[in-house]
Structure 1
Amino acid sequence: MRTPLGLVALTLAASLTGSLVAPSSADTADRAEEAKYRWSTTVVDADQSFRGLDAVDATTAWVSGASLTDGGAAKVFLTTDAGATWQDVSPPDSEGLNFRDVEAEDALTASVLAIGEGEASRIYRTTDGGATWTETFRNTDPKAFFNCMDFSRGGKVGLAVSDPVGGKFQIARTKDRGRSWTVLDDRRMPRSTGEFNFSASGDCLVFAGRNAYFGSGGDVARVYRSTDQGRTWAASETTLPTGEAAGVFALAFRTPRAGVAVGGDFEAPDDGTDATALLRRGNRWTAGGDLRHLGEDASWSRGMLLVVGQGGEDGGSSISRDLGATWTRFSKAGFHTLDCYGADCWAAGGDGRVGTVRIG
């Protein structure tokens, strides 16, 4: 919700006359949450910007990223001791790649997506905890740019989404747990001229039960839903901002028909107004509560919603106890990506940082 102009004038007048302004209710709520939850943060590799994350359980997680050094190697790291130590399990010959998404079954089996135009979009898979990797997909369309992927519960079916080619989003699918991928026919995909995905956090495409969803931005901010493993899709508009760097950045679902879309505008990273939208039933997205930072990723933990965002001077981590209607920022620490397993939440971001916090 935008601040009424009259309230801005009153606040300015108070400051000019030297009046003391009481802390806002938002500031008070923030401090109350800050006292409850604090990120425990470690730097895994300062040369990496992490945007891929999958928390397998309370002790096992994978993160993936890209080098902050031009032409440097993209890395994948694995922990099996709740983040006390991290092992570099990166695929070989990853110089210049950008691993924006990682999806894992357990401590041994995972797939990682490299994003980019043409052949820069690739998927690698390991079944031995990263000791060896197999390239299972390489994009051959020079106009395609794959952004994120996810697997259904059980891991048999997986989908990856590319920015539109010829005015329609492209979907790659696996039906054998990621061993092979096929780009699907797009004839029944809605027209999407002027739209694109954001590979902000690896969660622009997610499964929720048998449904799959992905978000878009650009000329319109929409959420697409498929009930048939990616063969057909229906699009619904959201209330999130639109623009060249604005739209839906990530999705998180509590049930197959109830969830949250988060995003914002990377050109206005300190503005969290209208940065969340809610799906409570059916296919209609309504405005959620405003954030005090970008919403790059979201996750559910014990019936509560967490959102993280890293950008501008006012990033942070926020929590909602009313299904996204209102939010309080419990930390000014910002991250790009987030995943919770029960009460244990993991986050990762720039400068190789990984954080953990327990929600309860």
Structure 2
Amino acid sequence: MKKSTITYLLFLISLATSGQWNTIPLPTAASFRALKSFKNEIWMGGTKGTYIHSKDEGITWEVKQVPGAENLDFRDLIILNEKEIILMSAGPSEKDAAKLYKTQDGGQSWEIILHIKEPKYFFDAIAWDHKKGIGYLLSDPIEQKFVLLKILQNGSKIEPINLIHFPTLLPREAAFAASGSSLLWMNKKLTIISGGGHYARIFQSLNANLTSWEITHNEIQADTSSGYFTIAAKNKNHFWVAGGNYLNLNSSEIPIIETKDGGKNWTPIKSPLPNNYYIEKVIWSSPYWIVTGPAGSYAFHPKLSQWKKLSESHYHNIITTKHKIIGVGAKGQIGYFNKSELQALFFPKK
């Protein structure tokens, strides 16, 4: 099957008022969760094997489909450089959905670099060490133990990591593959956040080969549809973790928590979200923390201790670029929020 390619030029003259998400009209009904940026490059991945690419921070876009991946749902991706990208398919291996694809020519062609056919695999997220060119692929637990794979040589070699000393998981505990952000590599340590069990928990590695781990947080009750969904770093010491219940989008008993010592100690943030809801993604876009979920998106200014709602939005995932916040969601919902308008929300002109 030939790849279908559609290129669109978007004139960034918006009729939206200040402080609004601006819709990017693209010809796709796919739902998107995978989203990453690198310099001016933006990549998105979604259902039906669909991916979207911009080389110029969203002025022009290409909508494409990976041949043979029409039944797959891409929920995370890694941008290695301008030409090399890895797409992660999230789905049960029993349905032939546990796959990684890679392009070495900017999306002109794709190859499968990992295809697991053994049962019980379901990929959740990828974390990447760009300095060493090494990645870590997290899969759902098998026999109550997470599965972790190491991606070497930019995807040329993939090998399992033996989690010898990993804490026993709770019944039904797992990582959510919502926005590909249940895994964080920082300070030469890997952090995994969980849900689905009786408690939402945080695990952190203790050694370089990732064989030993400890639980650094286990105080928040959860259930099969709730827990922690997303972790993000402001710097090497300051992280936020957020989540909720994906069956209850407008309410959440899962607080946003933070660490300021690299993950050793966690506490609820001092200025909680005014309308606590299901949060699927959190990012740091200096000087703001920004959270999003299908029920809406908010920005938080730490120095002002203020939250501002970013108009109506229903995005699963967001990323920051030089001038914009980019959002993706269900049924082809794609948009951007100008950072200059974000600043105007907190510092309106008199």
Pick the aligned partner of 1:347 from 309, 327, 341: 327
1:120 matches 2:120: no
Contact residue 336 and residue 350 of structure 1 kept, 8 A: yes
Contact residue 37 and residue 357 of structure 1 kept, 8 A: yes
Where does residue 130 of structure 1 map in the other structure?
Answer: 107
Residue type matched to 2:325 in 1? C
Contact residue 21 and residue 310 of structure 2 kept, 8 A: no
Where does residue 321 of structure 1 map in the other structure?
Answer: 301
Cα displacement (A) at 1:210: 2.2
Cα displacement (A) at 1:208: 2.3
Residue type matched to 2:195 in 1? G
Which deviates the most, 224-233 or 184-193? Answer: 224-233
Q: 1:83 to 1:285 in 2, by over 3 A?
A: same
Q: 1:238 to 1:258 in 2, by over 3 A?
A: farther
TM-score (norm 1): 0.81
Where does residue 177 of structure 1 map in the other structure?
Answer: 154
Residue type matched to 1:55 in 2? S
Looking at structure 2, the residues matched to 322 and 262 of structure 1 have their Cα atoms a distance apart, in angstroms, of 16
Which deviates the most, 230-239 or 40-49? Answer: 230-239
Looking at structure 1, the residues matched to 289 and 304 of structure 2 have their Cα atoms a distance apart, in angstroms, of 7
Contact residue 240 and residue 277 of structure 1 kept, 8 A: no
SS in 1 for 2:331: helix
Equivalenced residues, count: 316
Residue type matched to 1:215 in 2? I
Pick the aligned partner of 1:304 from 285, 288, 301: 288
1:40 matches 2:22: yes
Where does residue 138 of structure 2 map in the other structure?
Answer: 161
SS in 2 for 1:181: strand
Where does residue 62 of structure 1 map in the other structure?
Answer: 43
Written as runs of structure 1 = structure 2, the 5 A alignment for 1:181-196 is 181-194=158-171, 195-196=173-174
**Which aligned segments of 4 or more residues in structure 1 are displaced greater than 6 angstroms?**
none
1:197 matches 2:175: yes
- Calculate the aligned-residue CA RMSD, in Å: 2.3
Where does residue 273 of structure 2 map in the other structure?
Answer: 290
Where does residue 50 of structure 1 map in the other structure?
Answer: 32
Q: 1:148 to 1:291 in 2, by over 3 A?
A: farther
Cα displacement (A) at 1:197: 1.1
Residue type matched to 1:76 in 2? Y
Contact residue 137 and residue 180 of structure 1 kept, 8 A: no
Looking at structure 2, the residues matched to 269 and 206 of structure 1 have their Cα atoms a distance apart, in angstroms, of 24
Q: Could you list the runs of 5+ residues in structure 1 that have no partner in the other structure?
A: 1-33, 67-72
Residue type matched to 1:191 in 2? T
Written as runs of structure 1 = structure 2, the 5 A alignment for 1:143-154 is 143-154=120-131
Looking at structure 2, the residues matched to 223 and 188 of structure 1 have their Cα atoms a distance apart, in angstroms, of 15
Pick the aligned partner of 2:202 from 220, 223, 229: 223
Residue type matched to 1:278 in 2? E
TM-score (norm 2): 0.83
Where does residue 207 of structure 1 map in the other structure?
Answer: 185
Residue type matched to 1:196 in 2? A
**CA offsets, 1:220-262, max 9 Å, x none?**
2112222526433322225555111101111101122311011
Contact residue 218 and residue 244 of structure 1 kept, 8 A: yes
